[in-house]
Structure formats: C-alpha cells, structure tokens
Chain A
Amino acid sequence: NAGVTQTPKFRILKIGQSMTLQCAQDMNHNYMYWYRQDPGMGLKLIYYSVGAGITDKGEVPNGYNVSRSTTEDFPLRLELAAPSQTSVYFCASSGGGAGAFFGQGTRLTVV
C-alpha cells in the first residue's frame, strides 16, 4: 500500500515561473490537504478538499490553486513563484477515523 505519494521530491524554480506539485493517495480517503512547512516551524494549511470537485482555502492560500477531479489526486499549482514560497510542501489525506497520513514532502526553492 503506497499511501500518499508526492512528486517531485525536490525542485528549484526561478521567480515568476509556475509549477504543479502532484499528490496521489490510494486509501480511498475523501479528505485531502496541502500544507507548507517553513524552517523550524509547524505546518500551515494551504488548501483542502472534502471530495472530488470540492475544495476550499486554508490558512495561507495566497499564491496557490488546487483542483480535485478524482478521489485519488489533489494537485497544487503555484503561479508566479516568489521567494516567500520557498518551503517544504506536504500533501495529506484522511478518512475512516484513523487520523491524517502524510506524503514524503516536496522541497521547493524559489530563486
């Protein structure tokens, strides 16, 4: 069972570029999330989804967009990358009363 899979693991972007972080889960969870973790800090919620076709903003949504066309996939889109978006991004899913399960993270640097 793969759990939550994120790609890529590392990426360097130039200011103003765009990219999509991919996230897929195989646990048939309805709820999926994107968090970012800045150095020495806890995680902050960017966006979340409660099912296919339904998404909503979290604490820090500015500069990001999401979509959820299937139960399994929840990509995060960065438009016009800025240095402030340098962070580690985690995708997670939950369902079935067992808490949240996290992917391995994507380390993004914007230069």
Chain B
Amino acid sequence: GIQVEQSPPDLILQEGANSTLRCNFSDSVNNLQWFHQNPWGQLINLFYIPSGTKQNGRLSATTVATERYSLLYISSSQTTDSGVYFCAVPFDYFNKFYFGSGTKLNVKP
C-alpha cells in the first residue's frame, strides 16, 4: 500500500511562532487531506488539496503531487493550534484513506 510519512513527529512552539509540517507519500495520488485532531480527540478537516496551494486564515497548505509531498504552514501559532496534525491520502476512487502517524504540536503560551 501507499506509505505516508509525516515529519517532524513532535513539535513544540512558543505562541506566535510559525511552523511547517511535511507529509511525504510513496505513490501517485489524486488527492490529499489534512486534519487537525484536537486534544479532545475530534478530527477537524483543514484542507482537501490535490495540488497547488490553499489558504484558510493562518493556515495554508501546498501539495506538489509530482514530487509526492505536501506542506502545512501554521503562522502566528496559538495555543488552540495544539493537537495532532494528520495527512491522509486516498488509495482509490472511493476515498479510502491511508493516514500518516501524525505530527504532535504543542503551542506554549
């Protein structure tokens, strides 16, 4: 199956700092999704991004499908950004996702 690798596995930031999270995948994909799992365990959609760049407030994501990676940028981080960030790639037409093992982010006040 498709291998999905995320880096770094853990990240500690001071509030207000910027960060970049990376997702590498082993095979060609036609889509990719980023999620935030908050400390209560809820999975929140961030981006559904096959290629190019999307922005939503302080967050943006870039996927370069030809080079098999995606980046998630968090600017001016806040304590509410803490949690685990997952990227997931669908391995067929039915959107069955392979998940990476996540980046655990801790933003300190």
Contacts and interface: CB of A to CB of B under 8 A. Distances in A.
Interface residues of B, number: 20
A31 B95 contact: yes
Interface in B52-109: 86, 88, 94-97, 99-102
A67 to B, nearest CB: 18
B43 A102 contact: yes
A33 interface: yes
A40 B84 CA distance: 9
B91 to A, nearest CB: 9
Contacts of A104: 41-42
Secondary structure type dominating chain A contacts: strand
Nearest to B43: A102
Given A99-B33, A100-B45, 7 more contacts: A42-B86, A42-B99, A59-B1, A90-B43, A97-B48, A99-B95, A100-B33
Interface of A: 31, 33, 35, 40-45, 48, 50, 58-59, 88, 90, 94, 97-102, 104-105, 107
Top 4 A-B residue pairs of the complex, sorted by shortest distance between their CB atoms: A42-B99, A99-B48, A102-B43, A94-B95
15 contacts: A31-B94, A31-B95, A33-B96, A35-B99, A41-B101, A42-B4, A42-B101, A42-B102, A44-B99, A48-B96, A58-B96, A97-B48, A99-B31, A100-B45, A100-B97
